[in-house]
Amino acid sequence: MVNKITVVGAGNVGATTAQRIAEKELARTVVMVDVMEGIPEGKGLDQWQSAPIEGFDARVIGTNGYEEAHDSDIVVITAGIARKPGMSRDDLLNTNAGIVKQVSEQIKSTSPHAILIVVSNPLDVMCYVAMKVTGFPRQRILGMAGVLDTARYRAFLAEALDVSVRDIQAMVLGGHGDTMVPLISYTSVSGIPITQLMTQAKLNAIVERTRGGGAEIVKHLKTGSAYYAPSSAAVQMCESIVLDQKRILPCAAWLEGEYGMSGLFLGVPCKLGRSGLEKIIEVELTREERDALAKSADAVREPMGAVKL
């Protein structure tokens, strides 16, 4: 347990993230910040009143300012507008860049030693915005993308094979978008290569569904986007950091030569411990996977160049 975790944004993703953090008692105090007057206060109070029933002692506080968030150990940034049907993640670019910039300035001022977990879309570019504004080292800025994309991939595979999701081992790398790279060469079911259990055509269809997993949910909801799985993914990252679990999770990290690339955030296997990013794991990729990862990196660099800070 750490002393304080702050979640910026009290919408569906932020509020669900705060609730999960409190229920897991990852911090003594969970602060939920949002500019909408009354929303974080009301949701925080509601969550705190669930504590006697759910059996947790983590104090949940909702606020419109950052005073209560000072000296946070971890800050999860979920603030920003959500996707609507027909919108790509990049459509959100400069609106959310402005929001994340303002949030990052507040974090730099009030929690200069915090580890940041960015959830706002477009994810990889928002990580870049947070790094540029705060000046934090790469060990303390991570993007929640690969954990969510991998969860979707695993869920679709388990459904298709009629097996437990717990027996699916998989990893999705690259940018958080249509160019993400599910690693088929590292996908297995209790150690059995996925290619022995499923036709290539079926596997290709699942890969494509994974890439459009967020858009599929947006299409159903019509007025919002996913939040149960994204919040679970962010909390899994928090848990590995708080408990120093050394989990190997696919996260957006700032590359400095890994995989032959530098100067961008991209989803790669990361070891997460108490200091944040402890190591980027470089795995051997097939030629097709290397080419796909390079293509995904190009798709991240383009909006990076267009963002206005």
Distances (CA, A) of 58 to 197, 233, 237: 44, 20, 18
CB-based contacts of 156-165 (< 8 A; 24+ apart in sequence): 156/206, 156/209, 156/210, 156/213, 157/187, 157/189, 157/194, 157/198, 157/206, 160/198, 160/202, 160/206, 161/189, 161/197, 161/198, 163/189
Q: What is the pLDDT of residues 85-133, one digit of tens each?
A: 776 656 778 889 999 999 999 999 999 999 999 999 999 999 999 999 9
Rounded to whole angstroms, how far apart are CA atoms 296 and 197? 28
Q: What is the pLDDT of residues 52-68, one digit of tens each?
A: 999 999 999 999 999 99
Rounded to whole angstroms, how far apart are CA atoms 265 and 176? 10
Share of the chain above pLDDT 70, in %: 98
Q: What is the pLDDT of residue 90?
A: 67
Rounded to whole angstroms, how far apart are CA atoms 301 and 125? 8
Region 237-262: what's the mean pLDDT?
A: 98
Q: Which CATH number fits domain 2-143: 3.40.50.720, 3.40.1670.10, 3.30.1280.10, 3.40.50.460?
A: 3.40.50.720
Place of tokens 């944040």: 276
pLDDT at residue 254 greater than cutoff 70: yes
Q: What is the pLDDT of residues 219-247, one digit of tens each?
A: 999 888 999 999 999 999 999 999 999 99
Place of tokens 């909801």: 221
Instruction: Return the domain boundaries, the chain.
Output: 2-143, 146-306
Rounded to whole angstroms, how far apart are CA atoms 93 and 64? 24
Q: Hey, which residues are catalytic here? A: 176
Q: What is the pLDDT of residue 177?
A: 87
Q: What is the pLDDT of residues 180-195, one digit of tens each?
A: 999 999 999 999 999 9
Rounded to whole angstroms, how far apart are CA atoms 83 and 79? 12
- 146-306 folds as L-2-Hydroxyisocaproate Dehydrogenase; Chain A, domain 2 (3.90.110)
Domains 2-143 and 146-306 belong to one CATH topology: no
